[in-house]
């Protein structure tokens, strides 16, 4: 099976920066996604990495190191609306998407 690990919870202050780490061990690798999920809602797409390096998209950036089986999602200039769960997901060799359990981020004023 696939193994994807991320911290359960993180807390940060409004305006600060938070980094959510994700490590994975999968049978093959075809790309890594980050999704945002607000409580009671559907997951929504944030970012996709398939090559090593940093992808920046506004306040959110995602990094990938395939040799280390590691990714992180960086949230800058945190806002209250960023309070949500962040899901790390990997397309393994069979092109099925496997998800981590998610990291709940709480932003405090």
Partner 1 sequence: IAGITQAPTSQILAAGRRMTLRCTQDMRHNAMYWYRQDLGLGLRLIHYSNTAGTTGKGEVPDGYSVSRANTDDFPLTLASAVPSQTSVYFCASSEKAGSTDTQYFGPGTRLTVL
Q: What distance in Å separates the CA atoms of residue 53 and residue 55, rounded to the nearest whole number?
A: 7
d(CA 13, CA 77): 9
Should residue 53 be labelled a site residue for partner 1 when binding is judged by CB under 8 A? no
DSSP H helices, 1-109, are none
Nearer to partner 1, 63 or 78 (CB): 63
DSSP at 19? E
Say if CB 70 and CB 53 are below 8 A apart: no
Q: Residue 82, SS3?
A: helix
**Binds partner 1 (CB under 8 A): choice among 18, 24, 73, 100:** 100
Of 11, 96, 106, 108, the one binding partner 1 by CB under 8 A = 96
| Binds partner 1 by CB under 8 A, chosen from 3, 9, 28, 45 | 45
- Counting residues that bind partner 1 (by CB under 8 A) gives 24
Q: Which residues bind partner 1 (CB under 8 A)?
A: 1, 4, 8, 30-31, 33, 41-45, 48, 50, 87, 89, 91, 95-102
């Amino acid at each position: 099976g696939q193994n994807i690990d991320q911290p359960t919870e993180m807390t940060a202050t409004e305006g600060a920066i938070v980094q959510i780490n994700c490590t994975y061990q999968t049978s093959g690798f075809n790309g890594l996604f980050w999704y945002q999920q607000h409580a009671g809602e559907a997951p929504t797409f944030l970012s996709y990495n398939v090559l090593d390096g940093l992808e920046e998209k506004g306040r959110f950036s995602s990094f990938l190191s395939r040799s280390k089986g590691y990714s992180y999602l960086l949230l800058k200039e945190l806002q209250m609306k960023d309070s949500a769960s962040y899901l790390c997901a990997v397309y393994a060799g069979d092109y099925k998407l496997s998800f981590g359990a998610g990291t709940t981020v709480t932003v405090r004023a």
